[in-house]
Chains A and B, each alone.
Chain A
Amino acid sequence: MTWWPVLAVSGGAYGLKLLGVVLAGRLDPDLAERWSLETIVVPVLAGLILVQTLTTADRYVIDARTPALLVAAVLVWRQAPFVIIAIAAAGTAAILRLIA
């Protein structure tokens, strides 16, 4: 394999991160505060959670990940420690896959 694909994807991915950081630095602080810019992460993470749980490639899939997220949701609601939430989610998915 030649190096140029490696450099293209690496440079592109870092470039996008840097672009965001540079744009953030140029934003008028007043505007940033008024628009409560932190809110933009909420829908992106919400989208990420459901895409990671309910889809494979471009299809909707209900599998062991769904009950694992439901277990996690209950534990989050009960304010369980992070590590417990991670272990419970992994354990639920692993056990369901083992049975199936």
Chain B
Amino acid sequence: MIGSMARDPVLRNALSLGVATCVYAVSFGVLSVTAGFSVSQTCVLSLVTFTGASQLTFVSVIGAGGGVAGALPPALLLAGRNAIYALSLKQVVSGSWLRRAVRAQAVIDETTAMAHAQPTLTAKRRAFDVTAVCMYVAWNSGTLAGALAGQALGDPREYGLDAVFPAIFLALIAPQLRRPGAPRAAVAGAIIALALVPLAPAGVPILASVLGAAPTLLASRRRTGRSR
């Protein structure tokens, strides 16, 4: 079993994302309980919200005394990028309404990046589902562990785990940069996001980075328009 797992790159990649995610989930569990949420509330946050950056921001702001009114807007702005991801996954998340409702819950950074890194639609769907299961199990088991008894593990940054996510996203985005217009879109998105960090509320910089794709989208529309 271990052998076949090692030979399946998608599963292997999803599992390594899962390990890093699980440790982060433990620290979310600790943070949430410290901020005043019960163990069951902390678990519901992970089971239903299931988007790490939003959850961490939400409980951090409440823990710092910012109140629900202060915590909800940045948490939902951070969750907004999942709507953009869902649009890009049009074919991956298609199917019956029940399937779409279930897959919608799994539309997050990791599943999106893993799906788009695959060459065919079948491979994209499989990578999305495999990553979704790994992430859901990792995030929720880690949350429960952290909420019950997580203090011992310490800060995930000590293990350098905060550096794992950008590194993996870079590995996943790299093959997509061969598409025409993609490098330009990537640079534009990076500049927009970084420029807005000191100016805009949390979540807005990454949402706005989607505008980096605008010139490429308009150009591709004009190209196909001319060929008709």
Report which A residues bind B (CB closer than 8 A).
1, 3-6, 8-14, 16-25, 27, 29, 32, 34-55, 57-60, 64-65, 68-69, 71-73, 75-77, 81-83, 85-86, 88-95, 97
- Bound-state CA distance A31–B91 (Å) is 13
Contact with A along B210-228 (1 / 0, CB 8 A): 1111001100110010000
| Residue of B88, B107, B162, B192 touching A38 (CB-CB under 8 A) | B88
Instruction: Tell which of A8, A20, A51, A69 touches B87, judged by Cβ atoms closer than 8 Å.
Output: A20
A49 & B80 in contact (Cβ 8 Å cutoff): no
CA distance A97 to B43 in the complex (A): 31
Majority secondary structure of chain A interface residues (helix, strand, loop or mixed): helix
Other-chain contact of A93, B13, B50, B54, B162 (Cβ < 8 Å) = B162
Q: Which residues of A contact B104 (CB under 8 A)?
A: 14, 17-18, 20-21
- Give A36 Cβ to nearest chain B Cβ, in Å: 5
B82 touches A17 (CB 8 A): yes
Given contacts A39-B216, A90-B160, contact A8 B72 (CB under 8 A): yes
The tally of residues in B whose CB lies under 8 Å from a CB in A reads: 97
Minimal Cβ-Cβ distance residue in A for B207: A44
List 10 A–B pairs whose Cβ atoms lie within 8 Å, in order of A's numbering.
Answer: A12-B76, A17-B86, A24-B86, A36-B179, A36-B216, A43-B213, A47-B206, A55-B197, A58-B197, A82-B9
Given A1-B38, A6-B44, A83-B12: A52 and B87 within 8 A (CB)?
A: no
B189 touches A42 (CB 8 A): yes
B→A interface (CB under 8 Å): 9, 12-13, 16-17, 20, 36-38, 41, 44-45, 48-51, 54-55, 58, 62, 68, 71-72, 75-76, 79-90, 93-94, 100-101, 103-105, 107, 109, 112-113, 116, 157-174, 176-177, 179, 181-182, 185-190, 192-194, 197-198, 202, 205-206, 208-213, 216-217, 220-221, 224
**Cα(A68)–Cα(B155), bound, Å:** 18
Known A49-B166, A52-B162: A24·B182 in contact at CB below 8 Å: no
A40 touches B87 (CB 8 A): yes
CB distance from A39 to the nearest CB of B (A): 5
B182 touches A39 (CB 8 A): yes
Nearest chain A CB to B26's CB is how many angstroms away?
A: 15
Q: Which residue of B lies closest to A18 (CB)?
A: B104
A10–chain B nearest beta-carbon distance, Å? 4
Within 8 Å CB of A71, what residues of B?
A: 167
Known: A4-B68, A17-B82, A86-B17; 4 extra A-B contacts, CB below 8 A, are A9-B49, A42-B177, A42-B213, A90-B164
A13 contacts B16, C-beta separation under 8 Å: no
Query: Is the pair A69, B170 in contact by a Cβ cutoff of 8 Å?
Result: yes
Are B82 and A49 within 8 A (Cβ)? no
Q: Are B49 and A41 in contact (CB under 8 A)?
A: no
Report A9 CB to chain B, min CB distance, Å: 5
**Structural contact, B83 and A76, CB atoms closer than 8 A:** no
Instruction: Say yes or no: A42 contacts B185, CB within 8 Å.
Output: yes
Task: Give A73 to B88 CA distance when docked, in angstroms.
Answer: 25
The residue from B41, B185, B202, B206 contacting A58, defined by CB atoms under 8 A apart: B202
